[in-house]
Amino acid sequence: MRIGLIGSGNMARALAVGWDRPVTCSALEIEQAKALAALVGGTAAASNSEVAANSDLVILCHKPKQLEEVAAEIAGQTTLLLSILAGVTVEQLRAAYPNARVFRIMPNLAVEIAQATIGIVDDDAGDPELFAEVVALLAELGDVVPINETDFAVLTGISGVGPAYLALVAQKQVEAAVAEGMDEATAKVLVGSTLKGSSALLVARSNDSEQICREVATPGGVTEKGLAALSNPLGEGFKAAMDAVLGRSK
Ligand SMILES: NC(=O)c1ccc[n+]([C@@H]2O[C@H](COP(=O)([O-])OP(=O)(O)OC[C@H]3O[C@@H](n4cnc5c(N)ncnc54)[C@H](OP(=O)(O)O)[C@@H]3O)[C@@H](O)[C@H]2O)c1
């Protein structure tokens, strides 16, 4: 399947690197598209129209506010689309692309290493075979989670934004270590390695976070004190972050 990317920014690059196959891509600044084509192979297109003409599947990787202007260029030329545009509903996509099959997905940056979480609206519009084909293509990049569109904004607030949240957690832990005199490079290695092992453990333990907390936190020990200090601010912080994301993307 020939893949075309409208936009050659962060997410387009991560998708193309994860799939590790040539793409046709565009950007407002052609130099950005050329850089992506040079990275993964393929062609930097001079226009969105050229992307559509040379692709079996077009992926919308521009910003959500550019939906209408891009659709005005390619809606007549493409029959199969994936949209990663945060907050743009299936209904809006179908209105912009009335003659195409459009799937709404929400990947995260970990597509780059084929370890992403990818939400897809479980609306196959009467074509389960095509839906399965799209899911299989996405499964090359990580875990695909079909989900009702009513839950899509919350999914965005968990997995779409997740890599940035964990990166922030890492940054704050490093800052706390550096404030105690550890050199930054050592702190980064320790934090990164701890996050990697801890996420793998969480998944291996069927996401039983409470049991893991119990096993690490010896009664009266240092973890118990650390958890007590973190629990409330972290809970309130993530609630506020979810509110902020829902306010923007609903
Ligand atoms: N970043 C993430 O982790 C993430 C996660 C999930 C979903 N998303 C979604 O992914 C989309 C892209 O996000 P991003 O972070 O990759 O943004 P980005 O780095 O700013 O990339 C946007 C790209 O779209 C191009 N573009 C702008 N207008 C265009 C047009 N009219 N025709 C063709 N290309 C155009 C830009 O080109 P120029 O730079 O030349 O202007 C740029 O290459 C957004 O809709 C976002 O909601 C992002």
Kindly report, residue by residue over 92-113, the tens digit of the pLDDT.
999 999 999 999 999 999 999 9
d(CA 36, CA 68): 24
Cα angle: 21, vertex 23, 29; to 5 degrees? 135
Determine the pLDDT at residue 173.
98
Q: Confirm whether pTM is higher than 0.95.
A: no
Q: Which residues contact 138 (CB under 8 A, 6 or more apart)?
A: 105, 107, 118, 120, 144
Our answer on whether the CB atom of 6 is closer than 6 Å to any ligand 1 atom is: yes
Determine the pLDDT at residue 250.
46
d(CA 237, CA 148): 26
Ligand 1 centroid to residue 62 C-alpha, Å: 4
Our answer on whether the CB atom of 85 is closer than 6 Å to any ligand 1 atom is: yes
Ligand 1 centroid to residue 9 C-alpha, Å: 5
Name the nearest CA neighbour of 106 among 58, 153, 160, 146: 160
In the predicted model, residues of the chain with pLDDT beneath 50 are: 250
Domains of the chain: 3-157 (3.40.50.720), 162-249 (1.10.3730.10)
> pLDDT tens digits, residue range 162-212?
999 999 999 999 999 999 999 999 999 999 999 999 999 999 999 999 999
Our answer on whether the CB atom of 107 is closer than 6 Å to any ligand 1 atom is: yes
Determine the pLDDT at residue 127.
80
Neighbour tally for 115: CB within 10 Å? 13
Residue 214 has which token pair?
């119990």
Q: Is residue 107 within a helix (H) or strand (E), and if so which, with residue range? A: none
Our answer on whether the CB atom of 62 is closer than 6 Å to any ligand 1 atom is: yes
Mean pLDDT over all residues of the chain? Answer: 95
d(CA 242, CA 153): 9
DSSP string for 37-86:
HHHHSEEE-SSHHHHHHT-SEEEE-S-GGGHHHHHHHHTTT-SEEEE--T
Which atom of ligand 1 has the smallest separation from the CA of 29? 40
C-beta separation of 184 from 170 below 8 A: no
